[in-house]
Chains A and B, each alone.
Chain A
Amino acid sequence: GEDVEQSLFLSVREGDSSVINCTYTDSSSTYLYWYKQEPGAGLQLLTYIFSNMDMKQDQRLTVLLNKKDKHLSLRIADTQTGDSAIYFCAESFNSYNQGGKLIFGQGTELSVKP
């Protein structure tokens, strides 16, 4: 079945790197996503990775995918107080130009201390 797991909380100091981890059970997923939810706001798509890729980098964000272990991580370099939010991992099973549902994890609350 489809199941996505994340740790619930992470606390880091400003300037440090943050690593948020996610594991999933269904290896047939095609895309994996990271969404960010700031307090009182909706879900913002941060980045996504195609399942046949190992890594994707976008400015301070690095996504690593280990398909053998079904493990996805999001590294935020030089973490700032504005990065404090809930981060959701999600997977989908559709192709690029098709719609389809996302399976989300519980979200990891990142707290950045000055």
Chain B
Amino acid sequence: EAGVTQFPSHSVIEKGQTVTLRCDPISGHDNLYWYRRVMGKEIKFLLHFVKESKQDESGMPNNRFLAERTGGTYSTLKVQPAELEDSGVYFCASSGDRVEAFFGQGTRLTVV
């Protein structure tokens, strides 16, 4: 069974540009999460989808970040316009009806 897949693995963009990160969760997992790790600090929660609905978006830093989950399958996280402090590793995770959450490899975003 395929795990959680994230694309791209790396992205380097200039300040002010737009970037879209994609996450494909494990098939059948209703719960999908986005997290971010900035500069070697703790991994911080961004938001949680249950199917296509946003269950908890308390961790989204500001309105430059937009997350969507079309049809309750894959999810995208768009940053527009990107700022220098948005650099970090963005992780996606999914879980089913059990307590374990499975993480993707992460997307390393560098804003220059």
Q: Contact residues of A with B, CB < 8 Å?
A: 4, 31, 35, 41-45, 48, 88, 90, 92, 94, 96-97, 99-107
Beta-carbon contact of B50 and A99 below 8 Å = yes
- Total B residues in contact with A, Cβ cutoff 8 Å: 30
> Chain B, 33-65, contact with A by CB distance < 8 Å: what is the 0/1 string?
101000011111100101000011001000000
Is B99 positioned at the interface, with any CB of A under 8 Å from its CB? yes
User: B6-35: which have CB < 8 Å to A?
Assistant: 6, 30-31, 33, 35
Beta-carbon contact of B48 and A43 below 8 Å = no
- Whole-angstrom CA separation of A101 from B38 in the bound complex: 18
Which stretch, B67-75, B78-86, B102-110, touches the partner chain A?
B102-110
Q: Closest B-chain residue to A44, C-beta based? A: B103
Give the Cβ gap from A60 to chain B, nearest Cβ, in Å.
20
Give the Cβ gap from A62 to chain B, nearest Cβ, in Å.
19
Question: Lowest 4 CB-CB distances: which A-B pairs, in order?
Answer: A99-B31, A43-B103, A104-B43, A42-B105
